């Protein structure tokens, strides 16, 4: 086994950051080299040498002393002194936009869980309103960012300096649609409907009126209609025009998990065997995708796992299909996908530390 790689996590305080910390602390390739946790601290916490991980996420306390690790004040000197090689950014988009270029200049490889570098087309990035949009530096960084979906970009990720981790909704829609669109099965002119539902953790840790218990509990609500920031990822990665897909996200009154129900019409009638063959061929060698050969997946089956589950049913005439995709938004939709990318970047088995 090769020498462990020193990693660092910026943004460990969030939900995705907590899952990322848990996975890296238990990763079999990183034994003896826990991640460096760094972030913005107030003066009091900085004076006491940072915040113990046990105070931020008590669930990470274990017999190996992980709870005693501290989130230290972020500085480039800290990362350099501790010989960090890979920086995970579980930070807001604007922060990742600023820190990723600096990290690259300092020779670090970056896996960014935000949307800062996911989108190649300026029109799709407009929703983020980045201050540096169109600058020479931003264009250069964007040109080398690799979309972090191993099932599609495995070879590119292996040599990437900057991996832009996909969005959670995006992952749940791209994975089931990409194989069928690439194979020419879907009638794009007939339109695609992606009806997606996510647990409350998908909205992040900062409380809002819509994630407040009194609003979210016993409720189901649509949001971001025709305006969700993940829509651009669907268009770019699936390869369809904007008027070919309607994507509507909904907020479920559950902590975590995504279920996307996707409605398609085929160019020619299909059989279950023909569609299953496309999926099996496309996902051969992709251990974190599970195909349901019979029945449909459910959130219960993927919650707290690193898998994306895909199942489908066809109409009696084989002209229409309903595809159901499920994943845990904090894992395959965020942190475990980041670790999967980390594994690919180092030539390890994709599923190491994830099963």
Which residues belong to the active site? 168
**CB-based contact 247:234 (threshold 8 Å):** yes
Q: What are phi and psi of 39, to 5 degrees?
A: -170, -175
CA gap 251, 253 in Å, rounded: 7
**CB-based contact 191:266 (threshold 8 Å):** no
CA distances from 61 to 90, 161, 205 (A): 20, 32, 20
CA gap 135, 123 in Å, rounded: 15
Strand order of the β-sheet with 258-265 is 221-222, 245-251, 192-198, 258-265, 320-327, 308-314, 289-291
What 8-state DSSP symbol labels residue 256? S
CA gap 349, 162 in Å, rounded: 20
CA gap 124, 132 in Å, rounded: 15
**CB-based contact 161:104 (threshold 8 Å):** yes
DSSP secondary structure letters along 277-318: HHHHHHTTT-TTEEE-SSS---HHHHTTSS-EEEEEEE-TTS
**CB-based contact 246:263 (threshold 8 Å):** no
Q: How many CB atoms lie within 10 A of CB 170?
A: 27
**CB-based contact 260:172 (threshold 8 Å):** yes
> How far separated are the first and last CA of the chain, in Å rounded?
19
């Amino acid at each position: 086994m090769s020498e462990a790689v020193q990693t660092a996590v910026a943004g460990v305080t969030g939900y995705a950051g907590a899952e990322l910390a848990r996975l890296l602390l238990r990763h079999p390739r990183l034994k003896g080299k826990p991640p460096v946790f760094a972030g913005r601290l107030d003066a009091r916490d900085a004076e006491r040498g940072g915040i113990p991980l046990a105070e931020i996420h008590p669930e990470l306390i274990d017999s190996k002393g992980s709870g005693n690790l501290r989130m230290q004040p972020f500085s480039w000197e800290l990362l350099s002194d501790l010989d960090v090689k890979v920086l995970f950014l579980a930070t807001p988009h604007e922060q990742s936009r600023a820190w990723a270029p600096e990290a690259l200049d300092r020779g670090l490889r970056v896996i960014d869980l935000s949307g800062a570098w996911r989108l190649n087309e300026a029109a799709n990035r407009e929703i983020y309103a980045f201050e540096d949009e169109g600058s020479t530096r931003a264009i250069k960084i964007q040109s080398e960012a690799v979309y972090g979906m191993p099932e599609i970009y495995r070879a590119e990720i292996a040599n990437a300096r900057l991996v832009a981790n996909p969005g959670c909704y995006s992952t749940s829609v791209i994975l089931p649609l990409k194989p069928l669109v690439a194979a020419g099965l879907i009638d794009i002119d007939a339109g695609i409907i992606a009806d997606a539902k996510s647990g409350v953790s998908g909205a992040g840790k900062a409380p809002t009126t819509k994630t407040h218990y009194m609003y979210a509990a016993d409720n189901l609500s649509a949001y971001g209609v025709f305006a969700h920031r993940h829509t651009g990822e669907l268009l770019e990665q699936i390869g369809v025009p904007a008027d070919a897909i309607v994507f509507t996200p909904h907020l479920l009154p559950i902590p975590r998990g995504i279920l996307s129900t996707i409605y398609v019409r085929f160019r020619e009638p299909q059989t279950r065997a023909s569609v299953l063959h496309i999926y099996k061929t496309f996902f051969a060698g992709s251990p974190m995708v599970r195909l349901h050969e019979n029945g449909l997946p459910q959130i219960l089956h993927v919650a707290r796992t690193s898998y994306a589950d895909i199942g489908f049913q066809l109409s009696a005439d084989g002209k229409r299909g309903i595809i159901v995709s499920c994943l845990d938004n904090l894992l395959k939709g965020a942190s475990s996908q980041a670790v999967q990318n980390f594994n690919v970047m180092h030539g390890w088995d994709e599923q190491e530390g994830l099963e």
